Structure formats: structure tokens, C-alpha cells
Amino acid sequence: MNQIKVLFFATLRDRAGEKSVNIDIPEETTVQALKDIIVKTFPGLQKSIDSVVVSVNREFAFDENIIPESAEVAMFPPVSGG
């Protein structure tokens, strides 16, 4: 198992009720598989997950990408700075 950290921002933080969580995931877990794990852990995120943006180690990541060991993952809605 790999331990990773998942950060939540904006609506996802509100719906998860947490700023971040440390979780163990199997090796070779993809971003898509992590989304499924996160929704099981935080059912409140179900309605956010289809339009979520994911980053791994501060770069945008996509469903088929594999999450490396000790990764810093973040999940957030489309950005709205400016």
C-alpha cells in the first residue's frame, strides 16, 4: 500500500468536511480509482466528482494516470480566480 495525502479545496472541502486526509491506496491506483475510493469515504462528494479537477504533485492529473507513492493529491472544482 502507498500512503498519500489528498487535499480538498472550495466546495469539495465544504462537502467533505475536511481540508485534507491521509489514506492508504493500493499500488498502481489510478486517479479514477482514487475518485471511487474518495466518494466511498466522503459520500457528500458524489455530486462534485464528475466535474472535479485533480492534481498530483501539483500538476493536473487525469483518470488514467497512476498515483505515485507519497503523492500530494488535490481535488477541487474548476478554478475561479481573478
> Binder to another protein among 26, 43, 68, 77 (CB under 8 A)?
77
Work out the angle at residue 50's Cα, subtended by the Cα atoms of residues 45 and 54, and round it to the nearest 5 degrees: 80
- The site string for another protein over 2-31 (x = CB under 8 A, - otherwise) reads -----x-xxx--x-----------------
Site for another protein contains 80 (CB under 8 A):
yes
Site for another protein contains 58 (CB under 8 A):
yes
End-to-end CA distance of the chain: 39
Number of residues that bind another protein (CB under 8 A): 19
Site for another protein contains 46 (CB under 8 A):
no
Quick one: residue 39, left, alpha or beta (phi over 0 = left, psi -120 to 50 = alpha)? alpha
Report the C-alpha gap between 10 and 33 in whole angstroms: 22
Report the C-alpha gap between 48 and 30 in whole angstroms: 18
> Which residues of the shown chain bind another protein in the complex (CB under 8 A)?
7, 9-11, 14, 51, 53, 55, 58, 60, 62, 74, 76-82
